[in-house]
Amino acid sequence: MFLRLAADGLSMPVGADLVLHEEPDPESVRNSGPALGRVIERTARRWNTPLAIPLMDLRLEKADLLARIGVSVQDADAFHFTAPLDAATLATLCDGKAGSSCPGGTARDEALQYIASIPDLFPVGMAIGPFSLVTRLMADPIAAAAMAGRGQAPEDSDEVRLLFQCLQAAEAAIHRSVRSQIAHGARAIMICEPAANTSFLSPRQLKAGSSIFERLVMEPNLRLKAVLDSSACDLIFHDCGELIDPMVEAFAHRLHPVILSLGGSRKLWEDARLVPGDVVLYGNLPTKSFYSDGAMPIEEVIRRTRELLTNMKACGHPHILGSECDVLSVPDARETILKKVDAMMSVTAPSIPH
Amino acid sequence: MALNQELYDAILNGDAKKARAATEAAIAAGVLPMALIQESMVPAMDEVGRLFESEEYFVPELLLAGRAMKVALELLKPLLAASGTKMAVRVVIGTVKGDLHDIGKNIVASMLEGSGFEVIDLGTDVSPENFVTAVVERKPHVICMSALLTVTMPAMKLTIDALQTAGLRTQVKVLIGGAPVTHQYAKEIGADGYSENANGAVGLVKNLLAAEVA
């Protein structure tokens, strides 16, 4: 299906936040399943796509996880573990039993259920990736990952010990989230790992043979892929961070998602050589800078879109034109952003002369 | 050659334990704190910055070096205070109102401290009013503001406007940074500078203050 959509020239942003902010009270809608479902439906209709991609709210799994140890939704965003967890706390966090969801999680699931009832829409779920969730659970994940990358074991360092405990807890939380979304009708899950990048994981360490990318990113995501596979649910894998080629290759070949979504720093036509022919590349206009006409004038948006479409057609790799990430509605810049998203979507792929 | 090779190497290699040991040994041997900072620690962080610019070091190496430097500095601060020695440049840093991201801000703070500046870290979710209060009370030479989200960036302009309203804008240089921030945006909102990374921020602070003195 995804290859067919790419071949048919589908183009679409991850735009639910833009549509959400057309509501008079976006925050109420965010926590109301049926209303959120209608926003996601309108988003899909707006850009004429069967893929109903939800809000990219990557706070939900953290909120649900921390609720298990009594941290409120309001406090969850700012909460970080600062010392290794005791056995009882870790067991509570890792308990496989479904707990009650925060309002945002419940709304997400109910919205999926609504979308799943619409025959011509394909319900897509969303979850933060395990490593990215770890980085939100710790105050200083980079140092911990760097120390682990140098070979420090959990027994040698409280920070490294906490790192791997958080990974255990993160995986458990995401598995619960994904299972719930599948139970509510998700046929694909978009796993977002924006932190799996060269700011958190040193290319110097990786080049020297460190296994840290494998242990913190690939292994947990492979386990997650197995969960999706067991439910015949497709994986859409998103990482908009700065990457090195081996990371792209690993995501594409070993996770083998149906769609690989990458950030604006990558040239997708060059990445095509790293990616199997049956993995659709999605993206990747730099929509994070659309708020600024100085940094990204509309003429440049059009030029880059044409360049991307021309080069993807020339290399022949399946591609769906889209945004490098969730396109956020920014106060005072909303119309500027929308204008550029619409301009991007209106550019059509040029024909390549035979 | 740096005054204290062990300390220099410990910082360069991001080894906090060795940095502590080398600093303790230097203090015990009677080495002056400011000499340690200027002849070993700052050169080490300068080299870390050079390796980062040449893409041999990356953010994790920057962070570990900053932590090693901070461990050493914490041992020296009481001695500096006791002797009445102050760092020449004071910087206030914070992530703007509504934004809880702090990793980038923390790296910049580390690099600035490693360069011998006094850094007052206001943390995250810092309102324009709190930045203004910090300028009034701490009299920094520079304010550094960080934002990681396009939706929180507008708070940077609100802070600059608040400084203007309080009659403080000309007393302090304002630098901004963060993933969605651009040089163009810095110009649009009246900031004095923008850096796309921590190492660049250090250079920018030095250049801005040198331009003022010149």
Please give the average per-residue pLDDT across A238-247, as a whole number. 96
Distances from the Cα of A137 to the Cα of A141, A256, A322, B36, B101, angstroms: 8, 27, 30, 36, 12
Among A230-234, B146-150, B186-190, the range with the most confident prediction by mean pLDDT is: A230-234
Cα nearest neighbour of B102 on chain A: A139
Which candidate, A96, A114, A108, places its Cα nearest to that of A55? A108
**Residue B1's pLDDT is what?**
53
**Which residues of chain A neighbour B56 with C-beta distances below 8 Å?**
204
Question: Do A332 and B187 make contact, defined as CB atoms within 8 angstroms?
Answer: no
d(CA B25, CA A147): 25
**Residue A94's pLDDT is what?**
96
Average pLDDT, chain A: 95
Please give the average per-residue pLDDT across B168-187, as a whole number. 92
Three-state secondary structure string covering B9-39: HHHHCCCHHHHHHHHHHHHHCCCCHHHHHHH
Average pLDDT, chain B: 91
What CATH architecture applies to the domain B90-213?
3-Layer(aba) Sandwich (3.40)
Nearest CB to B58; choose among A198, A289, A333: A198
**Residue A353's pLDDT is what?**
46
Please give the average per-residue pLDDT across B83-92, as a whole number. 84
**Residue A352's pLDDT is what?**
47
**Which residues of chain A neighbour B151 with C-beta distances below 8 Å?**
328-331
Cα nearest neighbour of A203 on chain B: B58
Distances from the Cα of A271 to the Cα of A48, A146, A192, A281, angstroms: 27, 27, 19, 9
In this structure, of A86-100, A123-137, A274-288, B77-91, the range with the lowest mean pLDDT score is: B77-91
Nearest CB to B188; choose among A198, A294, A331: A294
E strands, chain B, in order: 90-95, 118-121, 142-146, 173-177, 193-194
CATH superfamily, domain at B5-82: Methionine synthase domain (1.10.1240.10)
Can you give the residue ranges of every domain in chain A? 2-346
**Residue A5's pLDDT is what?**
96
**Residue A212's pLDDT is what?**
97
Instruction: Pull the structure tokens for residue B69.
Output: 């430097």
**Residue A354's pLDDT is what?**
43
Q: Residue B213: is its pLDDT beyond 70? A: no
Nearest CB to A202; choose among B60, B182, B188: B60
Query: Is B61 near chain A, with CB under 8 Å?
Result: yes
Query: Is A242 near chain B, with CB under 8 Å?
Result: no
Residue the block writes with tokens 């203050």: B209
**Residue A331's pLDDT is what?**
82
3-class state of residue A139 by DSSP: coil
Nearest CB to B184; choose among A78, A145, A294: A294
Confidence label for A2 from pLDDT (cuts 50, 70 and 90): very high
**Top-confidence residue, A333 or A218:** A218
Query: Is B64 near chain A, with CB under 8 Å?
Result: yes
**Residue B88's pLDDT is what?**
78
Express each pLDDT in A35-84 by its tens digit.
Answer: 999 999 999 999 999 999 999 999 999 999 999 999 999 999 989 999 99
Cα nearest neighbour of A288 on chain B: B180
In this structure, of A49-53, A258-262, B46-50, B164-168, the range with the lowest mean pLDDT score is: B46-50
Q: What percentage of residues in chain B have a pLDDT greater than 70?
A: 98
Q: Residue A336: is its pLDDT beyond 70? A: yes
**Residue B214's pLDDT is what?**
54
**Residue A332's pLDDT is what?**
82
**Which residues of chain B neighbour A330 with C-beta distances below 8 Å?**
150-151, 153-154
Confidence label for A351 from pLDDT (cuts 50, 70 and 90): low
Helices (H), chain A: 2-7, 16-20, 26-30, 33-46, 60-67, 73-76, 87-94, 103-116, 130-137, 141-149, 158-183, 203-207, 212-213, 219-230, 245-249, 268-271, 298-315, 334-346
Nearest CB to A292; choose among B58, B59, B182: B182
Asked if residues A268 and A330 have their Cβ atoms less than 8 Å apart, the reply is no
Which candidate, A210, A216, A214, A217, places its Cα nearest to that of A237? A217
**Which residues of chain A neighbour B185 with C-beta distances below 8 Å?**
292, 294-295
CA B182 and chain centroid, separation: 19
Question: Do B58 and A199 make contact, defined as CB atoms within 8 angstroms?
Answer: yes
**Residue B150's pLDDT is what?**
84
Four-point Cα dihedral A202, A203, A209, A215, nearest 10: 50
Query: Is A132 near chain B, with CB under 8 Å?
Result: no
d(CA A240, nearest CA chain B) in Å: 12
Beta bridge partners of A189: A125, A235
CATH of domain A2-346: 3.20.20.210
**Residue B2's pLDDT is what?**
61
Asked if residues B90 and B140 have their Cβ atoms less than 8 Å apart, the reply is yes
Express each pLDDT in B129-176 by its tens digit.
Answer: 999 999 999 999 999 999 988 889 999 999 999 999 999 999 999 999
Query: Is B185 near chain A, with CB under 8 Å?
Result: yes
Express each pLDDT in A159-216 by its tens digit.
Answer: 999 999 999 999 999 999 999 999 999 999 999 999 999 999 999 999 999 999 999 9
Nearest CB to A205; choose among B60, B150, B151: B60
**Top-confidence residue, A101 or B73:** B73
**Which residues of chain B neighbour A143 with C-beta distances below 8 Å?**
60, 63-64, 67
CATH 3.40.50.280 segments of chain B: 90-213
Query: Is B67 near chain A, with CB under 8 Å?
Result: yes
Question: Do B60 and A149 make contact, defined as CB atoms within 8 angstroms?
Answer: yes
Distances from the Cα of B146 to the Cα of B55, B188, B206, B208, angstroms: 23, 16, 18, 18
